[in-house]
Chains A and B, each alone.
Chain A
Amino acid sequence: MDAMLVFDVALALALVGLAWAVLAAEDLFAAVVLFIVFGLMTALAWVRLAAPDVALAEAAIGAGVTGALLLATLRRIGGAESAETTPRPVLIGVGALAAAVTSGLGAAFLAAPAQGPGLEAAIAANLAASGVEHPVTAVLLNYRAYDTLMEVVVLFAAVVAVWSVAQAPEPATPLLGPLHAGFARVALPAAVVVGAYLLWAGATMPGGAFQGGAVLGAVAILALLARDYVPAPAHRAWARGAFLAGTAVFALVAAGVGFGPRMAFEYPPALAKPLILLIEAVVTLSIAATLAALFFGREPEPLGVEVEARK
């Protein structure tokens, strides 16, 4: 028997077991930690499926940033919510939704042709005109750029919702001490380089805006925890600009190339690479700012309120 088959079966069983453990965990903190482990194992599964782009995104966003968001949420709600306090209709509704999504995915998987050519040939044939050398980036930023624009809009909508809903001042996060500050001094510059590299690498190999943006977002989260950066009300205009920039630049470029003989999203081949890089660079910064803002979890308070909360 193939040695890797044993590994793959063990990995698949571990994923199902971890998913069950997340749902069955009595303690919400344990559930969050198990969910982070689940995300890392899922990233490993994507590596085994030869999809390093998805693996990078899953590790950075699914395990890393989502884990930080869940832990921040847990701190906010104080572990008060549990299965006992959740209303029964909510539980049933969530269960029904999850079952619907799972059966939909299962149906799509069973209906898909098991063997035979996919779209690889068509993608490879048009790669030269796409402006990038990496097929996944060509799909995400050129062939199916509309889908990617919608993903960026989803993140934008999320941060708009958070700023609209959560405005109550709250006690600041506890300081993590001198060791954490020292770690941040070493890790932040290194992580900034990694994030920028992931963005740049996306043109020719696995990487891109979402992976780079997630790493830069993690940098911002570390900076928030280490108090290297303290959000102030005066920064709100800049933050709004950063949230919007990705969606705005993406949409403007997409619509802008649509004048004349071309359709929207149809980049002229000569300009495809610079346009894609421009979109990816701005989207990366937008994603980083948005993820950090989601972690901070609220609009920075007006000055008076902040002073009030500190007393």
Chain B
Amino acid sequence: MTGIEMLSLALMALGCLFFVAGTVGMLRFPDAVSRLHALTKADGLGLVLIAAGAALAAGSAGWALRLALICGLVALAGALGAHLIARLVRTGGGR
């Protein structure tokens, strides 16, 4: 296994760890807003780490660019989703 492959695997494993942490947070935290807090932070970083690992494994600038684009769009959509849920909670629509 080359150094790049090991680095790529390590990045993806770290990313998975963030997803697990975010999921644990979502299951364990008491209310909607703190659950959102755990989920959005953890998943944002988790996705970027996994994408960085995948970009290293793919080993080409084109794929790295595509993955970066996906990260950017998911970050935007994720932030918007979290905002909309938080807004619903604040205005009393959520449970």
**How far does the alpha carbon of A280 sit from the alpha carbon of B24 in the complex, in Å?**
45
**How far does the alpha carbon of A186 sit from the alpha carbon of B77 in the complex, in Å?**
10
Asked if B76 contacts A187 (CB within 8 A), the reply is yes
Count of CB-CB pairs between chains A and B under 8 Å: 17
**How far does the alpha carbon of A89 sit from the alpha carbon of B24 in the complex, in Å?**
42
Asked if B87 contacts A183 (CB within 8 A), the reply is no
Asked if B73 contacts A179 (CB within 8 A), the reply is no
Asked if A176 contacts B73 (CB within 8 A), the reply is no
Residues of A within 8 A of B27 (CB): none
Q: Size class of B's contact patch? A: under 10
Contact with A along B46-87 (1 / 0, CB 8 A): 000000000000000000000000000100110010011001
With both chains docked as a complex, state the minimum distance between the C-beta of A60 and any C-beta of chain B, in angstroms.
Answer: 15
Asked if A176 contacts B76 (CB within 8 A), the reply is no
Main secondary structure of the interface of A (DSSP, over half): helix
Within 8 A of B (CB), among A154-200: 176-177, 179-180, 183, 186-187, 190
Residues of B within 8 A of A186 (CB): 76
- B83 closest partner in A (C-beta): A179
Asked if A187 contacts B84 (CB within 8 A), the reply is no
Residues of B within 8 A of A179 (CB): 80, 83-84
**How far does the alpha carbon of A186 sit from the alpha carbon of B84 in the complex, in Å?**
17
Asked if A180 contacts B73 (CB within 8 A), the reply is no
Asked if B87 contacts A177 (CB within 8 A), the reply is yes
- B91 closest partner in A (C-beta): A174
Residues of A within 8 A of B80 (CB): 179-180, 183
A contact residues, total (Cβ < 8 Å) = 8
With both chains docked as a complex, state the minimum distance between the C-beta of B23 and any C-beta of chain A, in angstroms.
Answer: 13
With both chains docked as a complex, state the minimum distance between the C-beta of A122 and any C-beta of chain B, in angstroms.
Answer: 34
With both chains docked as a complex, state the minimum distance between the C-beta of B75 and any C-beta of chain A, in angstroms.
Answer: 11
Main secondary structure of the interface of B (DSSP, over half): helix
- A27 closest partner in B (C-beta): B95
Report if A190-B73 is in contact (Cβ < 8 Å); known contacts: A179-B80, A180-B80, A183-B80.
yes
**How far does the alpha carbon of A179 sit from the alpha carbon of B80 in the complex, in Å?**
7
Asked if A183 contacts B73 (CB within 8 A), the reply is no
**How far does the alpha carbon of A177 sit from the alpha carbon of B80 in the complex, in Å?**
10
Residues of A within 8 A of B83 (CB): 177, 179
Residues of B within 8 A of A187 (CB): 73, 76-77
Residues of A within 8 A of B73 (CB): 187, 190
Residues of B within 8 A of A183 (CB): 76-77, 80
Residues of A within 8 A of B77 (CB): 183, 187
With both chains docked as a complex, state the minimum distance between the C-beta of B48 and any C-beta of chain A, in angstroms.
Answer: 18
- B93 closest partner in A (C-beta): A174
Asked if A180 contacts B84 (CB within 8 A), the reply is yes
**How far does the alpha carbon of A183 sit from the alpha carbon of B83 in the complex, in Å?**
11
With both chains docked as a complex, state the minimum distance between the C-beta of B89 and any C-beta of chain A, in angstroms.
Answer: 14
**How far does the alpha carbon of A190 sit from the alpha carbon of B77 in the complex, in Å?**
13
With both chains docked as a complex, state the minimum distance between the C-beta of A31 and any C-beta of chain B, in angstroms.
Answer: 15
With both chains docked as a complex, state the minimum distance between the C-beta of B70 and any C-beta of chain A, in angstroms.
Answer: 11
With both chains docked as a complex, state the minimum distance between the C-beta of B72 and any C-beta of chain A, in angstroms.
Answer: 9
With both chains docked as a complex, state the minimum distance between the C-beta of A65 and any C-beta of chain B, in angstroms.
Answer: 16
With both chains docked as a complex, state the minimum distance between the C-beta of A104 and any C-beta of chain B, in angstroms.
Answer: 37
**How far does the alpha carbon of A41 sit from the alpha carbon of B83 in the complex, in Å?**
25
With both chains docked as a complex, state the minimum distance between the C-beta of A116 and any C-beta of chain B, in angstroms.
Answer: 35
**How far does the alpha carbon of A190 sit from the alpha carbon of B87 in the complex, in Å?**
26
Which residues of B does A touch, CB under 8 Å? 73, 76-77, 80, 83-84, 87
A-B contact pairs, 17 of them (CB 8 A): A176-B84, A177-B83, A177-B84, A177-B87, A179-B80, A179-B83, A179-B84, A180-B80, A180-B84, A183-B76, A183-B77, A183-B80, A186-B76, A187-B73, A187-B76, A187-B77, A190-B73
7 extra interface residue pairs, beta carbon distance < 8 Å, beyond A177-B83, A180-B84, A190-B73: A177-B87, A179-B80, A179-B84, A180-B80, A183-B76, A186-B76, A187-B73
